[in-house]
Amino acid sequence: MTNQQIIDATKAYVKETLKNAEGGHDWFHTLRVYNNAVLISKKEPVDDFVVQLGALLHDIADSKFHNGDETVGPEMARVFLFELNVDSLIIEHVVNIIKHISFKNSLSGNAEFTSRELQVVQDADRLDAIGAIGIARCFNYGGFKNRPLFDPSIQPNMNMTKEEYKTSAAPTINHFYEKLLLLKDKMNTKTGQQIASKRHQFMETYLEQFYAEWDGER
């Protein structure tokens, strides 16, 4: 198979696998991350094939939908790519991207793996967590977990451990402070930083309006 045929097969596999996924982590999320990654990689010295596979498979089995098991996604990707006879070094690189892309893993302080390709896919994924779509995804997942929109008596936890992050049931607005508003300064690439800056500003405007409406001021 050519690289393009492998990419096409991967798109079909992911689309089928995620057809019943929660709206913020479905095929369309993956497609947006893929498109973001392709855009960013145009200005980065990376292996485009690895970036595209990493973006397409990064959420093939998000651990929060698999009882917190972080091994399911990497193993599914490994088996799928092996069946397509993808080079073993590429498979390992893609699997490492899936293992290390998540924001929660950065909370552990253990940077066990890094590569330019991971940085591109990570930026692409984080861009989809902020801005207008990021806000929509945040509230969609909060509704999925039946969390309150906001509770002024519950303050954001700005020093969460990885385990606290994974088990948090805090109001959705808290997630803006615990993750979304932090992402702008965690971008790895110049392109990611430029796009994130605009999306970050949109979130700040949104929160200003949210609090004004909450307090009956507008």
Confidence band for 15, pLDDT divided at 50, 70 and 90: very high
Q: Nearest-CA neighbor of 64 among 148, 142, 166?
A: 166
| Cβ(127)–Cβ(199) below 8 Å | yes
Q: Using an 8 Å Cβ cutoff, are 178 and 165 in contact?
A: yes
CA-nearest of 64, 96, 63 to 77 is 96
Q: What is the pTM of this model?
A: 0.92
Q: Is the pLDDT of residue 111 over 70?
A: no
User: Is the predicted pLDDT of residue 191 greater than 90, yes or no?
Assistant: yes
Mean pLDDT of 52-72: 93
Q: What does the DSSP assignment read for 62-98?
A: -GGGTTT-TTHHHHHHHHHHHHTT--HHHHHHHHHHH
* 108: pLDDT strictly greater than 80: no
Tokens 């590429």, located at residue: 90
Measured CA to CA, the distance from residue 1 to residue 7 in angstroms comes to: 10
The reported pLDDT for the residue numbered 110 is: 61
| Mean pLDDT on 112-123 | 95
